[in-house]
Structure 1
Amino acid sequence: MSTPPEASPSRRLPSLLGVEAFVAVGRAQSFSRAAEQLNLTVSALSKRVAGLEALVGEALFLRSGATLSFTPCGLSLFAELSPIVDELGRILAPPAKSGSGKLVLHLPTSLAALWLIGELKNFHDTHPGLDLKIETGPHVTRHKRGAVDAAIRYGLGNWEDVKAERLIDGALAVFAVEPLDGEALSKTPLLGVSGAEDAWHGFFDELGASAAPSEPHIFENAQLMLEAAANGLGAALAPRILALPYLKAGRLTQAALPVLDLGRAFYFVAEPRRWEEEPIRQLREWLCTRAKLSSSAL
């Protein structure tokens, strides 16, 4: 019987705590916010990230005053590790008990990182009796008690399997480090998102152009695309709610160009039979309130 080859002694696996810390900082774009989320001191969090940087052999973040951004190595590593951390969380999470006041909300990774995480403290403060668990990743098609109780989906709101309530406008705008007009945009690299590769073609159709000047460089999700744009790699086309943290930080500027409205938006969805269950109703009403407040800043 053959035996499996032994692992090379020179090849070390990273600490899961270091990976968790790195992904948390990348999502929060702040060491202090990530430390608060993980219930760590900033010093302890920094040591975990430093351990991963030592293993990789490169810096993963750049600091310029109060601004934090990925290095090219950090951006590439974040794209690989972020979904792995989500999957580990899903696998290791204990099953929810029916009727326990625990809710599982699924939503796109970028919306969670760039909007919902910043709102969660308010939820915990105002709903101490509800235990909200966040799951992120690709669109879910089945809502199963104990797996996913509700979700936020991006689309037209006409799904047959769920009831939907509109939360946030999903019109697409152009964002880049420097202000862009039509002529400047035609000379700027385009950045896009997997699953929406044709969005730029629709945008240039709205401008009356015969075709996009170049094919976009595609990223796994909108957060990575916007982070690339904030690092000067090109122009991003994204819903304005996702760009709001970058606009507030002065890292991106919205171009003085038309907004592409395809009728899509972010919707709260749940099974019709569970729509008026008290925990789901409370979550829905809270999300609607927070979404209105955020939308007023756009």
Structure 2
Amino acid sequence: MDRLPLNSLRAFEAAARHLSLTRAAEELHLTHGAISHQVRALEALMGTALFLRRGRGVVLSEAGQHLAGTLTAAFGQIDQAMQSVRRQAAGSLTVSVLTSFAARWLVPRLERFHEAHPEIVLNLQTSRQLADLRRDGIDLAVRAGRGAYPGLDTRFLMSEDLYLVASPRLAGGLPKTLDDLRRYTLLRDSFDDWEMWCKAAGVDIKTLKFGTAIQDSAVLLDLVAGGGAIALARSVLAASDLATGRLVRLFDVQVPRVFSYWTVTLPERRDEPAISRFRAWLEAEAAAFEATALV
């Protein structure tokens, strides 16, 4: 066979996937007759039937099943390769991150990435919803969790701790003892790690007074900075506010958070240059941040 009959192979693969010549014609923007002609031409070339009629429909023959599985995988790999080349040629990278993580940690550092890699155009998507990398066209995502993400190439980025924070201008003054916490309004975020912190501090959570539950952790820190409440903060998100004095830590009780930060990408794309460079930069920034936090 000197040349592959690509048109016939494509028509057969679509018809086999749908088990319908009509739906294959719709997908490939051809007529029903054109699909039928391509399939018959392929069967003549192969010397065997690829479809068998069953009532008003068709099913794949044994030879058709073997060829269809191989073709679907092959066309899928070709499509992925073309998309990869297109993305690399464009020099763009789409990254999905939590809104709070972007606002409090990532965005203030991005200028350093642009300086190091001016050839990469970064598209940052922020959301509280979990992105589907394949469906949503996401190149890389940063997730907060336990690191169990089936079907994805996952690498640890950094962990974080939990501690109490308040504004230095907290209404009523800063609490001096753990028992004083009963006099203040305390805020929760969507992760609600208060029970774990109270257990470590030896505080009965039932004696505490909680205010509004805030879904976005960055918004929660803004409310605390206003001076009306105390909150349990995540070290990665609160670090910049502590550094500027906008917030202060309360007490010495600090507990490791159950969730950590991870970078995830599709396994077949992990070695793409733009993904590898951004991932390496993130890991270097995270390592520098953690080293500073330990000082």
> How high is the TM-score relative to the length of structure 2?
0.63
Residue 228 (structure 2) pairs with residue 266 (structure 1): no
User: Distance between the aligned counterparts of 2:264 and 2:153, measured in 1?
Assistant: 6
Q: Does 1:127 align with 2:117?
A: yes
| SS of corresponding position for 1:283 | helix
Shift in Å at residue 144 of structure 1? 2.1
Question: What is the SS of the residue equivalent to 2:237?
Answer: helix
Match for residue 189 of structure 1 among 185, 188, 204: 185
Deviations 1:145-198 (A, max 9, x none): 77211111111112213222222222212111245441232322111213x23x
The amino acid across from 1:208 in the alignment is: G
- Distance change (3 Å), C-alpha of 1:250 and 1:104: same
Deviation (angstroms), 1:286: 0.3
- Residue 296 (structure 1) aligned to one of 282, 291, 295: 291
RMSD: 2.1
Structure-1 residue corresponding to 2:130: 140
Structure 2 counterpart of 1:275, one-letter code: R
| Equivalent in 192, 213, 216 of residue 218 of structure 1 | 213
CA offset at residue 214 of structure 1? 2.2
Indicate the percent of aligned positions where both proteins have the same amino acid: 25
Structure 2 letter corresponding to 1:271: L
- 1:143-162 map, 5 Å: 143-144=133-134, 147-162=137-152
2:196 matches 1:202: yes
Separation (CA, whole Å) in 2 of partners of 1:185 and 1:153: 32
Q: Distance in 2 between matches of 1:293 and 1:225?
A: 26
Mapping of 1:33-112 within 5 angstroms? 98-99=87-88, 100-112=90-102
Whether the aligned pair in 1 keeps the contact of 2:131 and 2:138 (CA below 8 Å) is no
Which of 1 and 2 has greater Rg? 2
What is the distance in 2 between the residues matched to 1:296 and 1:252?
Answer: 21
Task: Say which structure is richer in helix.
Answer: 2
Q: Of 272, 277, 280, which aligns to 1:285?
A: 280
CA distance in 1, matches of 2:146, 2:200: 19
Does the 8 Å contact 1:193/1:225 carry over to 2? yes
> Equivalents in 2 of 1:295, 1:139: separation in Å?
26
Cα distance, 1:263–1:112 mapped onto 2, change above 3 Å: same
CA contact 1:171–1:239 (8 Å) conserved in 2: yes
- Aligned residues between the structures: 201
Deviations 1:233-281 (A, max 9, x none): 2112121121112111111111223222243211111122211211111
Task: Encode CA deviations 1:121-156: one digit per residue, 9 max, x unaligned.
Answer: 111110011111111011424102772111111111
* Contact 1:229–1:235 (8 Å) recurs in 2: yes
CA contact (8 A) 1:102 1:131 kept: yes
Divergent runs of 4+, >3 A: 178-181
Q: CA offsets per residue over residues 54-83 of structure 1, 9 Å max, x none? A: xxxxxxxxxxxxxxxxxxxxxxxxxxxxxx
SS at match of 1:215: strand
TM-score normalised to structure 1 length: 0.62
